[in-house]
Structure 1
Amino acid sequence: MDPVAQRLFDYLKNALYNPAEAHLDPKDIPEEFRDFAKGLLYYVQSVREASILAADIARGDLDTRPLTTGNEVAPGLKSLQATLRHLTWQTQQIAKGDYQQRINFMGDFSEAINNMVVQLDWRQKALEEEIRAGIRKSQALALNLGVLEDITRQMPQLVLVLDVHSKEKLFQNHPIERVLQDRTSAEKLFAWIEDSLTSIGSDERSEKEIELISEGNFQFFAVDIRALKWGSQDAAAFIFTDQTQTRRAMASLQEIANYDQQTGVYSRHFGMLTLNKWLDHKQDFVLCFADMDSLKYVNDVFGHNEGDRYILEVASLLRLFSEGAFVCRLGGDEFMLLAKDWEQEAAEQRLEELRCDLIKTGKEIEPRYRHSVSYGVIKVDADNKMPLSDLLGLADERMYHYKKAHKAERRN
């Protein structure tokens, strides 16, 4: 190869694979190739800027440095950056209650966001109307005590009205009579009422909760306590609304929110809540990112059933890290592991042990592809000053370097 061409080729190769060794001075190039050398320098600089901008956007840094004027390599990235910044602003406005925001770009994503905003706006208006309707009904009920008694006898809520001074029962509807038939519940209820009456004033209202036994079953009640006049007597009305089914539904929803339904490990939602809590409480722990190797290849070549089995295999393996560790699936092929009382080196050694076990057992289970994970570990001390986003970015970066360093192994 011509020496000048070789020199230009070596520069381009170093710029791509070994930037620290990439040096080119057009003055050292023969005059007939000098303009080409300058153009090559400009092209490499444009590619580097595009690469930096893409990495910043991937980390969520939308306020990254501007591109050099005339950079024609990354106009699409620059447009994406502007779009994401505007989308972030619109999302912030929606969070503040501006449900008139509409997103007019990004295709199906825009349609999904817009539909969500319309639903939020509709639900807020429906809730406001429901509240107004409830207030109107309450005002109407208060007009006539006789009508109130007739209505409350038919209500599903438990209603009990007591004289605040003598504790005399002034009114009770049929549903609460069933609760009072259980001696233990009756004693617990009146002890609780006694305590509640000491903390309510003549014109106050409060809301509390209590667990009682009704017809042999434990039930949770939300209690609305209202001070009122019952004729000439100072009274307090206790309105018990059964929340048992709601509690159970909330518990089920919490279970769904806290666990990844496919693998049974903790969810991204739970993992981020735990990570934030540990940071707030100045805990000492290791943060580990683990990324499955070759999942896309497995899905494409062997099918998603095999890919799902591979995901379960890795999730089960990561659970063996330690008894007190939290394994969370971030999505797809990515997992996060949080563990207290571990040093970084020890955590890396443990993950390497698990990785070797995965490779070994994977050959026995399904030898047609390599079963492996790449990981990155950082130690978070009690005096940590780094924000959450930087910690996640650093763990992800270390995982990426590990994956890159072991790329050759995956080809064998």
Structure 2
Amino acid sequence: MEDKNCELLFEYLRSILYDSTVKPLDLGALDEPYKKLGMGLEFLDHAVQEMKDYSEALSRGKLSAKVPDRDNFLCENLKNMHSNLNHLTWQAKQVAKGDYSQTVSFLGEFSEAFNTMTRQLKEREESLKREAEREKTHANMMESYNQLLMELIARSDEEVMVISMIGQKVLYSNENMSIQISPEEIYQLCLQQQEKQDGSMFAKSDTYEWTWETEVSQHHYYRITTGIMLWQGQKAYAHIIREVTEEKQRQSRLEIEVYKDPLTGIGNRLFFFEKATEILKSGEGVILCYCDLDHLKYVNDNYGHGEGDWYIRHFSDTVSCNIRQEDVFARIGGDEFCIVLRHCQVETARRKMRRIQKIFASEKEHPYKKGFSFGLEEIPEGHGNLIIEDIIGHADRAMYRQKREHTRAQKNSLT
């Protein structure tokens, strides 16, 4: 009798472990002392099958797979891996949006490859900035004006208008101007420039030239090279007109891409460090506030990273609506933000930030706790040479003191 029961149970265990389709156990064929063991093996069968299904879904990249019940101890490591993959997917989406501060530290060689990729993307961001600067430099560079005047007058694709210095008569203009501006409008603009220069010492020169830019109706931009020359025996201003609307738009797009955080629309880390360094160099007294969102990982893990993005934007919008236009606000990391409060006392800054905490936490439509921690660092007026990274470090430590208080308060509320 014992051999028969053992054989049935062993065959069932073997089928659980090795067969793609498990042969069911007939509990009725077991003697009474062995039925409880058979029921235990049926529970194991369910747990193993659930583990196989779960692991297969994860191996196929199906992160929306149903998470096994808590009592299935075989799936604990798979659940951790599932959570890590979800977080890694969110990080990859953040990188795709331009947040290159994302780093991975828990996946061995993959972490090194991921961090190398984000570092290279950051370098590309800096390269775009340099490209924008080169565009500016290129926009300000001009060829030798005398040679340009002679060449452009002969070329049909450049617009030229020559106006006499005395009497302000149009001595020459292209027969068919292709630019999106009327001859009368460009004539008036050129006259205004001439009036600015007529009283200067340069107007006495026969070779003085300068370049100026203007925006006219319908948001068109023009760069105009104006030079003094003799035209058919009389002194005149020659205006060579070039439309640069496309160039200006391209330059503007590059600047936005370099300095703007794509998720929140506020400044990014590069913008903040440049702006804060500029303020420090002026010797102005300011308050630096370092903020770190509470509960972001909880929101991401329990409500999804789309909701986590809303949580970040909700914080950004709340702060933006409660600081002044002269203050500087930027996102410098995934859930890290910095504010430079100008012309503000430290106690006033602390009250302001506490009020923002209350406003931020008062939102009721989204069913989870909202909060952030902050730390303040006062930079007095007339300070010496300071490094922005050191100031952020001081404010960061102050922020962590408040975050520990929040954590203790949360634990106390649960006991």
TM-score normalised by structure 2 residue count: 0.55
Give the counterpart letter for 1:398 in structure 2.
A
1:220 to partner: Cα distance: 2.8
Is the 1:159–1:176 Cα contact (8 Å) retained in structure 2? no
1:276 to partner: Cα distance: 3.1
Partner residue, 1:346? 348
Give the counterpart letter for 2:305 in structure 1.
H
Is the 1:329–1:336 Cα contact (8 Å) retained in structure 2? yes
1:297 to partner: Cα distance: 3.5
Is the 2:129–2:258 Cα contact (8 Å) retained in structure 1? no
Give the counterpart letter for 2:372 in structure 1.
V
Partner-residue secondary structure (3-state), 2:301: helix
Distance 1:142-1:239 versus aligned 2 partners, 3 A rule: closer
Give the counterpart letter for 1:334 in structure 2.
E
1:190 to partner: Cα distance: 2.2
Is the 1:355–1:372 Cα contact (8 Å) retained in structure 2? yes
* 1:47-90 per-position Cα deviation (integer Å, ceiling 9, x unaligned): xxxxxxxxxxxxxxxxxxxxxxxxxxxxxxxxxxxxxxxxxxxx
2:272 aligned with 1:268: no
The equivalent position to 2:335 in structure 1, one of 333, 336, 339, is 333
Is the 2:287–2:377 Cα contact (8 Å) retained in structure 1? yes
Give the counterpart letter for 1:354 in structure 2.
I
Distance 1:116-1:169 versus aligned 2 partners, 3 A rule: same
Is the 2:264–2:312 Cα contact (8 Å) retained in structure 1? yes
Partners in 1 of 2:362 and 2:132 — Cα distance?
A: 54
1:286 to partner: Cα distance: 1.6
Give the counterpart letter for 1:171 in structure 2.
Y
1:219 to partner: Cα distance: 3.6
Is the 2:125–2:258 Cα contact (8 Å) retained in structure 1? no
Partner-residue secondary structure (3-state), 2:290: strand
1:290 to partner: Cα distance: 0.6
Structure showing greater Rg? 2
2:214 aligned with 1:210: yes
Alignment identity in percent?
Answer: 20
Partner residue, 2:49? none
Partner-residue secondary structure (3-state), 2:331: strand
Over aligned residue pairs, what C-alpha RMSD do you find?
Answer: 4.6
1:107 to partner: Cα distance: 4.3
2:369 aligned with 1:377: no
Partner residue, 2:82? none
Partners in 1 of 2:330 and 2:250 — Cα distance?
A: 23
* 1:264-297 per-position Cα deviation (integer Å, ceiling 9, x unaligned): 3444344334423433333333211110123234
Distance 1:120-1:202 versus aligned 2 partners, 3 A rule: same
Distance 1:376-1:242 versus aligned 2 partners, 3 A rule: same
Is the 1:326–1:338 Cα contact (8 Å) retained in structure 2? yes
1:378 to partner: Cα distance: 1.6
Partners in 2 of 1:121 and 1:252 — Cα distance?
A: 14
Partner-residue secondary structure (3-state), 2:177: helix
Give the counterpart letter for 1:224 in structure 2.
T
Is the 2:226–2:237 Cα contact (8 Å) retained in structure 1? yes
Is the 1:290–1:334 Cα contact (8 Å) retained in structure 2? yes
Gaps of 5+ in 2: 1-114
Partner residue, 1:220? 221
Partner residue, 1:286? 287
Partner-residue secondary structure (3-state), 1:319: helix
Partners in 1 of 2:351 and 2:133 — Cα distance?
A: 52
Is the 1:185–1:212 Cα contact (8 Å) retained in structure 2? no
Matched residue count: 292
1:320 to partner: Cα distance: 4.7
Gaps of 5+ in 1: 1-105
Partner-residue secondary structure (3-state), 1:404: helix
TM-score normalised by structure 1 residue count: 0.56
Is the 1:290–1:375 Cα contact (8 Å) retained in structure 2? yes
Partners in 1 of 2:383 and 2:148 — Cα distance?
A: 58
Is the 1:321–1:351 Cα contact (8 Å) retained in structure 2? no
Is the 2:293–2:335 Cα contact (8 Å) retained in structure 1? yes
Partner residue, 1:398? 398
Between 1 and 2, higher relative CO (CA 8 Å, sep ≥ 6) is seen in: 2
Give the counterpart letter for 1:374 in structure 2.
S
